Amino acid sequence: MGSSTPPTSRDVARLAGVSQTTVSYALTGKGAVSPSTRRRVLQVAESIGYRPNLAARSMRTRRSGRLAVITGVAIDNQPSMVTGASEVANAAGFIMETHSVDGSIADRTDRTLELASGGQYEGILTFVPVLPAALSTDRSAVPVIAATAYDEDMHSTGELADASLLDTFVSTLAEAGHRRFVHVAGPDQYASARARRETYLAAVDRHGVESLGVLGGDWPPETGRRAVLALPDDAPPVAVIAANDNLALGVLRGAAERGWSVPGDLVLTGWDNADFGEYTMPSLTTMAVDFREGGRRAMRLLIATLRDEEPPVSTTPLQRIVWRESTGSIAPAS
């Protein structure tokens, strides 16, 4: 009990009175086996609960049919990316496994290399930043693709971190008559946060509106709340461009604490289309980012790479503005 070792294909062979070869053929459906033999083998295998040892199989075939996706605990919106990647992997006949890694970027790089050369996967897709060393395809036989939504360096698919539509927030609000803006930024280590901040600065400049500055510097709601509390009394009417919905939520709370109405004294945009944004009072104008499709594309790229095919090009945008109550009634530029 417990210490007994699981049955092997040799056990099945002995019990069925055939060779290991025949068992293998019957199970994988590869060689030619007579129907009756095949039936008997299958029956025996089933009865003793035989399951092939995957490590042995993949060591022999050098094909595991498995792809690894590397994620980390702290990356927002990844669940949808993983789901999208999984859809594509399964459709292509692969089993996809998710490995969650944490620690420093060096640790993550090590682990990625380990997985790449461990002989168990035919390809690796990482959603967390790793050092370029992990991506070199010369030494590790299997391809490693990085699709990080939220950081730069390496071969990133990048589209997910694109901030160019933030310009549309500013221009549309400017056209609607808003003259004063503030940006509540995310942390500087994030490429997406930096991109949004820079796009904001360029936009206020380009559209000739006043900027009261860039506040914030972190993702949690409390940062947004503090940013509003730090605004001068005569700030309203002001348009607040928050780097994400969490921050926007804090802004909403801070505005209420100061007695400022939204969208009266203050209009507000977020980013990410978080579930709660449709139900806050007022509901949040935001950027819907299609992480799932981002995951699909990343996986298509990996599969194309390992098959030595040309990667498919996708042109449809991954982002879309959702106008809601927090920006008042405006006629969005089509």
Partner DNA sequence: CTGAAAGCGCTTACAG
53 belongs to the binding site for DNA (CB under 7 A): yes
- 83 or 164: whose CB is closer to its own copies? 83
State the binding string over 257-286 for its own copies (x if CB under 8 A, else -).
-----------------xxx-xxxx-----
Q: How far apart are CA 166 and CA 149, in angstroms?
A: 17
Closest CA to 155 of 137, 173, 172, 167: 137
Q: How far is the CB of 55 from DNA (least distance, A)?
A: 8
What φ, ψ does residue 73 adopt, rounded to 5°? -65, -40
Closest CA to 252 of 275, 222, 230: 222
State the binding string over 82-121 for DNA (x if CB under 7 A, else -).
-------------------------------------x--
Q: How far is the CB of 204 from its own copies (least distance, A)?
A: 27
State the binding string over 230-259 for its own copies (x if CB under 8 A, else -).
----------------x--xx-xx--x---
Instruction: Give CA 48 to chain center in angstroms.
Output: 41
What φ, ψ does residue 100 adopt, rounded to 5°? -95, 120
Closest CA to 240 of 147, 146, 138, 166: 166
Q: How far apart are CA 63 and CA 120, in angstroms?
A: 8
Q: b vs e for 25-34, b when ≥16 Cβ sit within 10 Å of the residue's Cβ?
A: bbbeeeeebe
31 belongs to the binding site for DNA (CB under 7 A): yes
Cis peptide before 263 (omega within 30 of 0): yes
Residues at the contact surface with its own copies, assessed by CB under 8 A: 1-2, 4-6, 49, 51, 53-56, 58-59, 71, 73, 79, 82-83, 86, 96-100, 102, 113-114, 117-120, 137-141, 220-222, 225, 246, 249-250, 252-253, 256, 274-276, 278-281, 308
Positions that interact with DNA (CB under 7 A)? 5, 8-10, 17-25, 27-28, 30-38, 50-53, 56-57, 59-62, 119
